[in-house]
Copies of this chain bind each other. A is one copy, B any other.
Amino acid sequence: MSRTLPRFYCDDLASGILTESESAHAVKTMRLTVGSELELLDGKGIRLRAEIAGITNHCVQFIEIHRTHFERSGPALHIAISPPKSIDRFLFFVEKATELGITSITPLISQHSERSKLNVEKIRKTITASLKQSGNPFLPQLKDSLSFVDLVKNSRLPSARFIAHCREDGQKQALSALLQKLPELVVIIGPEGDFTQEEINLALENKFTPVSLSENVLRTETAGIAVCSIVLSTYSAL
């Protein structure tokens, strides 16, 4: 196995220091010391190999050894999703979506939503942990929760818009068949009780294409992970 360096998140590489919590993780958990090598991700496409130069006021100071710039290889995938009742299931989606390289996540409040309040801090921690674990150079953006109406009527959405729902309407196509080489797309995913017919109609009026992901009924978080897999793996460059 190739040796992998312990990885940390540092959104301001120019500062030359890690945050207190990342420093604590480096020093207390990973037992790194002055001279140890580590890898830093800024979440904006830069991966740094660095060395610990000092530890002052509980913060790790580092010096750069080598810098790698990444470009996004796939499309920018935005998912707006109704968080399920179980926060663990939502965090699981967030973790997987980050591993797979999602661009943004918007919690969606729709008529059958089972949860409108979210622990944003916990979600951000899950994103950062998954970023470090997977080595994804691009930090997904967690957007503010939006109502279904505000989301679908937003004129700044990308033109490739999809709505995944479970109703049988004879209009749905497989998402995988519609992808081609889209540079950016948004997919909205409903709650366990699905979107209402009224919501689906409003989405269609706002140029959303109805898509299906499976013949079975997928849980919300499964639908979210499936969309990430289908969209982002199709484009993965090697």
Taking the complex as formed, is A14 at the interface, i.e. its CB lies under 8 A from any CB of chain B? Answer: no
> What 0/1 readout, one digit per residue, does chain A (88-103) give for beta carbons within 8 Å of chain B?
0000100110011100
Taking the complex as formed, is A147 at the interface, i.e. its CB lies under 8 A from any CB of chain B? Answer: no
B226 engages A212 (CB within 8 Å): no
* Number of residues from A at the complex interface, CB < 8 A: 43
Q: For A196, what are the chain B residues with a Cβ–Cβ distance below 8 Å?
A: 1
A222 engages B96 (CB within 8 Å): yes
Taking the complex as formed, is A182 at the interface, i.e. its CB lies under 8 A from any CB of chain B? Answer: no
> What 0/1 readout, one digit per residue, does chain A (59-77) give for beta carbons within 8 Å of chain B?
0000000000000010000
Taking the complex as formed, is A175 at the interface, i.e. its CB lies under 8 A from any CB of chain B? Answer: yes
Determine which of B135, B218, B228 lies in contact with A99 in the assembled complex, contact meaning CB atoms within 8 Å.
B218
Of all A-B residue pairs in the complex, the 7 with the closest CB atoms, nearest first, are A229-B229, A226-B229, A134-B216, A136-B216, A176-B234, A134-B217, A99-B222
